[in-house]
Amino acid sequence: VIAAKGGANQVQINHNIKKTLAKVVDYVPEKREDKTAYCRCWKSKTFPHCDGSHNAHNKESGDNIGPLMVPKS
Ligand code: FES
C-alpha cells in the first residue's frame, strides 16, 4: 500500500498505470465490434481493458472487484 499525500486514511489505488499523467481518463469507443471489458481494479497490464488480473486481487484480498462490461454497439 502506498500512502497518499492527503492523510493517513487515503491510499493510492493506481500503482502503475500512466503515472506521468495528472489524471487517467479513457473513453469508450462509440463503435464497438464486440463486447468489451474495462478494468476497474487498476491492475490490468492491458489497461483500460480488463486482462483478468482482478481475479488474483480478489483471491488475495477477499475483495469482489470485476470489470465494466460494455456491449457491442
Ligand atoms: Fe481490472 Fe479485470 S483486470 S477489472
- Asked, for residue 5, whether it belongs to a domain, the answer is no
Q: At residue 41, what is the residue type?
A: C
Q: Out of 23, 31, 59, 72, pick the active-site residue.
A: 23
The complex's ipTM?
A: 0.99
- Percent of the chain with pLDDT strictly greater than 90: 81
User: How much of the chain is in helix, strand and coil states, percent to nearest 5?
Assistant: 10, 15, 75
Torsion sign, CA atoms 12, 16, 18, 24: negative
Looking at the domain assignment, is residue 64 inside a domain?
A: yes
Q: How many domains would you assign to the chain?
A: 1
Across 49-59, average pLDDT: 97
- Average model confidence (pLDDT) for the chain? 90
Closest CA to 38 of 65, 11, 60: 65
**23 an active-site residue?**
yes
Q: Does 49 have pLDDT greater than 60? A: yes
**Which residue of 40, 46, 69 sits with most ligand 1 atoms within 8 Å of its CB, as the best mutation to test the pocket?**
40
Residue 47 lies in a domain: yes
Domain around 34 = 24-73
Q: How far is the CA of 34 from the centre of ligand 1 (A)?
A: 18
Give the pLDDT confidence of 4-36 residue by residue, as tens digits.
555 566 788 999 999 999 999 999 999 999 999
CATH number at residue 48: 3.40.5.90
